[in-house]
Amino acid sequence: MADHTDVLRGIQRAPHVRYPVLTPNMQGFQDAVAAGATEVAVFGSASETFSKKNINCSIDESMLRFEEVINTAKERQIPVRGYVSCALGCPHEGHMEPSKVSEVAKRLYEMGCYEISLGDTIGVGTPGSMFKMLQSVMKEVPAHALAVHCHDTYGQALPNILTALQMGVCVVDSAVAGLGGCPYAQGSSGNVSTEDILYMLHGMGIETGVNLAKVIEAGDFICNALRRKTNSKVAQARGRTL
């Protein structure tokens, strides 16, 4: 992501489309704003060990850093989205207590994040653990301010997302062609594919406003460029849709 400034300056922004960027600290935030960012994201972890290993500080220390960013963003009227990683399990700590997730989600929300994206960072969650985690988080953060960011490492992303939708969550993160493997499980998949989510949502009569065929095209493009196969099952099976 070293070319972040070039990318932000180079893209053609479509009207009504938002282009948030990740900003881990004040420096990153200032660079982002200088490059033209109009929305940013910060990321906390529900797991202490993951926080220390990933960003070299405790959860509390990371929250202090984010507070700085969020307060400055507020002054400049730049919306901030909060991510909570390891929401359903941690590669170091294992099982994640739902109360730990809700605590971090609550802190980010109260600091001023407009939306909290709950990430199943290593994809170990199932509809069982998703349900329990969301029950806990929803006591602290309203459903309309929640999103789920499911990884498909164990093939559970779609049923987990379905569970979240059934519980009133209405924002879903996904990656075209399922880009992004899992750094904690060699050779495994990571992000759930946007194409596969769209297929499910449209099949359920849920509108997304997204054109599946165009997403598949974008997926084709990036997979060709990366010389890799898509992780999207829909893209693999295309040409056979009813």
Partner 1 sequence: MAAVMRIVNRSALHSAMGQKYVAYSSAAKVSAAGVRAGQALPEKVKIVEVGPRDGLQNEKTMVPTETKIHLINMLSATGLGVIEATSFVSPKWVPQMADQVEVMEGICRKPGVSYPVLTPNLKGFQAAVKAGASEVAIFGAASELFSKKNINCSVDESLQRFDEVMKAAKEAGVPVRGYVSCVLGCPYEGKVAPEKVAHVAKRLYSMGCYEISLGDTIGVGTPGSMSEMLEAVSREVPVNALAVHCHDTYGQALANILVALQMGISVVDSSVAGLGGCPYAQGASGNVATEDVVYMLHGLGIQTGVDLSKLMDAGAFICRTLNRKTSSKVAQATCKL
CB of 118 to partner 1, least distance (A): 14
Restricted to residues 126-185, the positions that interact with partner 1 (CB under 8 A) are 126-129, 131, 143-144, 147, 152-156, 158-159, 161-163, 165-168, 170-176, 179, 182, 184-185
Check binding of 230 to partner 1 (CB under 8 A): no
CB of 152 to partner 1, least distance (A): 7
CB of 214 to partner 1, least distance (A): 10
DSSP string, the chain: -TTHHHHHHHS-PPTT----EE--SHHHHHHHHHTT-S-EEEEEES-HHHHHHHHSS-HHHHHHHHHHHHHHHHHTT--EEEEEE-TT-BTTTBS--HHHHHHHHHHHHHHT-SEEEEEETTS---HHHHHHHHHHHTTTS-GGGEEEEEB-TTS-HHHHHHHHHHTT---EE-BGGG--B-TTSTT-B-BPBHHHHHHHHHHTT------HHHHHHHHHHHHHHHT-----HHHHHTT---
Restricted to residues 6-35, the positions that interact with partner 1 (CB under 8 A) are 11, 16-20
Is 182 tagged catalytic? yes
Residue with Cβ nearer partner 1 (43 or 154): 154
Restricted to residues 50-79, the positions that interact with partner 1 (CB under 8 A) are none
Among 209, 213, 225, 227, binds partner 1 (CB under 8 A): 209
Among 10, 15, 75, 205, binds partner 1 (CB under 8 A): 205
Restricted to residues 75-94, the positions that interact with partner 1 (CB under 8 A) are 89, 91, 94
CB of 60 to partner 1, least distance (A): 25
Which of 119, 186, 127 is closest to 155 using CA atoms? 127
Check binding of 237 to partner 1 (CB under 8 A): yes
Q: How many residues bind partner 1 (CB under 8 A)?
A: 78
